[in-house]
Structure 1
Amino acid sequence: MKGHITERSPGKWAIVLDLHTETGKRRRKWHSFSGTKRQAQEECARLVTEIKHGIYLEPDKTTLADYLDRWLKHEKSSVSPKTLERYTELAMKNIVPLIGQTTISKLKTEKIDAAWTKALESGRRDGKGGLSPRTVHHMRRVLIKALNQAVTWEMLAKNPATASKPPKVERKAMTAYEAGTTGELLEALRPTRMFVPVMLAVMCGLRRGEIVALRWKNVDLANKRLAIVETAEQIKGAVRYKETKSGHARVVDISSTVIEELKRHRVRQAEENLRLGVRLDDEAFVVAQADASPLQPRSLTHEWVRVLGNTTLKRIRFHDLRHSHATQMLAAGIHPKIAQERLGHSTIAITLDLYSHVMPGMQADAAEQVDEAIRRAVKPKA
């Protein structure tokens, strides 16, 4: 294999490679290059080496925008609709405006790093500043995943996004209510339709999607337990029911207080449905709209913001009610393994990582208990 360079104009070079087809015929491939003569020679040598080792890929005119469109169609069959929606938003609305017109064969790590910097400075689509580091971090992950597929399809020799520098993402401080505040919250919301969903979140640790997907057939009032078998996912106004986040159903034991509240709620719901001419059965949703239709996850969030605004309590996200349940459990000395199973985390490592801020107090209590046990065991000398 041979190659040589030809100067087209000052600083502009043509790298000419001699290739051989499967039939043995010779053909030439031209590459454009900008730089010094020495740099052009080094690039020519690199390309010749790739040809000799069988890793050379001919230049592809496909732009990143066109490639991402193709990749998203490929991903449609292997990811959930919600995940595809998020991939599409990050790829087409955030990445493409920055580097979408670059051909993927000329996409370099330096250019990708420059795109992340620009996104942080002025990436918002409304023109009001930059995107958050967390959003740019997600953009980078999507681009890496997309270009990994390009390597598999032999459109790229290596993935230039992998070496790009991720932005530093600071973990947000977790907010949660203490037991006393939780009691105030429940009393304040008791007259509203938000009482039951908030109770399920703050006293059972259920996720928003799990709450709106919970049916009466999964509530075992006699044995005081809930079976969490599915979750609700909202995509552009439509709701889809699917398996839980961890991929496994779980059983959540519930307290006598929750049992009594659910019994009263079922009676009220049955009376409400009867006025509509609808009979309440086990397929009905525990949390539903006034007309007995299913509740959308986002509607639950919007209503939470509204009713919380009518109180004097600290403003937190609906998901933070689940965090409140977790921190109260761990602070009360409940073993993290029990908390993991109750919350539906796939591994105990997730539980420990999320709630490590609760652990120092638990360790101090453990140290004192061990110390007390040893002192009792050691008999005083005569």
Structure 2
Amino acid sequence: MGKDGEDATVAPLCRRAAQAPAQSLACFVSEWLPAVRPSLKPSTWDSYRSNLIHHVLPRLGEIPLTEIGPTDLTRLYVELLASGRVDGTGGLSQKTVHYIHTIVHRTLRDAIRWGQLDHNAAELCDPPRQLHPEVTAWGEPEVRAFLAGMRTERLYALYLLALTTGMRRGELLGLSWDSVDVASRRLFVRHSLIAVNYTVQLSSPKTRRSRRAIALDVGTLEALAAHRVRQDHERATCDRPHEHSGLVFTRVNGAPLHPHSVSQGFERRARRLGLPRIRFHDLRHTSASLALAAGIHPKVVSERLGHASVMITLDTYSHVVPTLQDEAAARIAALVL
């Protein structure tokens, strides 16, 4: 984003800062956001900016930076939980308020580093517990029904790849053909397609472990090959200027798919087939749950998902662990009895 765009996004903060006491929180944030922008992913910076503008500054922006205390932050979190939604329809989730707490903590931490504070009030209050929501996933019957219903759909390969690899939505949409190695039956996760202010752009994967190689089965490779033939035909017959993005999954004119549109399209198709409602991201949960239930080692599942550690995998999919325990007990008994 150019200088004009940057000024436009920070302008609401600057207006508040001009009306507030010297070195109010709003004044500091109006300086802090442009300063940290180069060190953050675009999506992360935009998330910081949006949450500060919509949730924090309307409530705390005029308070002098040095006077913000743990009581102010606790009151903020309680209010956000009760009535924090911008559309006025209720409160924010505990997960969202916990995330806002991390943003406030980072902001005040940098104020200390810049010599404008001597303590971080966010360290002296207790944010809402970050609850881990129950994983929603389809079972084998639903997966088979969905794939059968999608067989002739233009994005069939996208849905199949999501289910056979457990890749994140952004990783799927950021996958390029030069990252698919048919000879070794591998694909390489190198980019993620994200939406920042509704504009799509390529970014680096979510974490260091997210950069990974994933083995592909023959059926998925065949689906990708058929998809490429279709894409080549679309390129040759498209009556509009064609964008040569090099991405595997694109619009008919070669432009990147918008992540939100992909999610909405998936939900419409699942609803049309009469299947239980899940999000596109839940295809990742479905893939992992089915893999663990099939006896695939958690370490392998963790590597395919790009988790930072196998403990994250086991914690996220703890609903499958009892089944694994039962199977282990039966196998051990078969060896010794």
TM-score band w.r.t. shorter chain: 0.7 to 0.9
Q: Does 1:138 align with 2:103?
A: no
- Aligned residue among 119, 125, 144 for 1:158: 119
1:82 to partner: Cα distance: 0.5
Match of 1:204 in 2: 165
User: Which SS does the other structure have where 1:176 is aligned?
Assistant: coil
- Aligned residue among 68, 75, 79 for 1:114: 75
Match of 1:175 in 2: 136
Match of 1:261 in 2: 223
Write the distance in 2 (CA, Å) between the matches of 1:124 and 1:265. Answer: 41
CA RMSD after TM alignment: 2.2
Kept in 2, the 8 Å contact 1:217–1:283? The answer is: no
Match of 2:274 in 1: 312
Q: Does 1:81 align with 2:81?
A: no
Write the distance in 2 (CA, Å) between the matches of 1:66 and 1:311. Answer: 52
1:130 to partner: Cα distance: 2.2
Q: Flag the structure with higher helix content.
A: 2
Match of 2:148 in 1: 187
The alpha-carbon distance between structure 1 residues 61 and 285, as it changes in their structure 2 partners (threshold 3 A), is closer
Q: Flag the structure with higher strand content.
A: 1
TM-score (norm 1): 0.78
User: Which has more radius of gyration?
Assistant: 1
Match of 1:274 in 2: 236
Write the distance in 2 (CA, Å) between the matches of 1:208 and 1:293. Answer: 16
1:81 to partner: Cα distance: 0.9
Unaligned 5+ runs, structure 2: 1-20
Match of 1:47 in 2: none
The answer to which of 224-233 and 243-252 deviates more is 243-252
What is the identity, as a one-letter code, of the residue corresponding to 1:352? L
**Number of matched residues?**
316
1:246 to partner: Cα distance: 2.2
1:281 to partner: Cα distance: 12
Match of 1:221 in 2: 182
What is the identity, as a one-letter code, of the residue corresponding to 1:188? G
Match of 1:361 in 2: 323
User: Which SS does the other structure have where 1:76 is aligned?
Assistant: helix
Kept in 1, the 8 Å contact 2:26–2:62? The answer is: yes
Write the distance in 1 (CA, Å) between the matches of 2:290 and 2:276. Answer: 17
Q: Does 1:98 align with 2:59?
A: yes
1:152 to partner: Cα distance: 1.7
Match of 1:348 in 2: 310
User: Which SS does the other structure have where 1:165 is aligned?
Assistant: coil
Kept in 1, the 8 Å contact 2:243–2:254? The answer is: no
Kept in 1, the 8 Å contact 2:83–2:91? The answer is: yes
Match of 1:8 in 2: none
Unaligned 5+ runs, structure 1: 1-59, 376-382
1:107 to partner: Cα distance: 1.2
- What is the identity percentage for the equivalent residue pairs of Structure 1 and Structure 2? 33
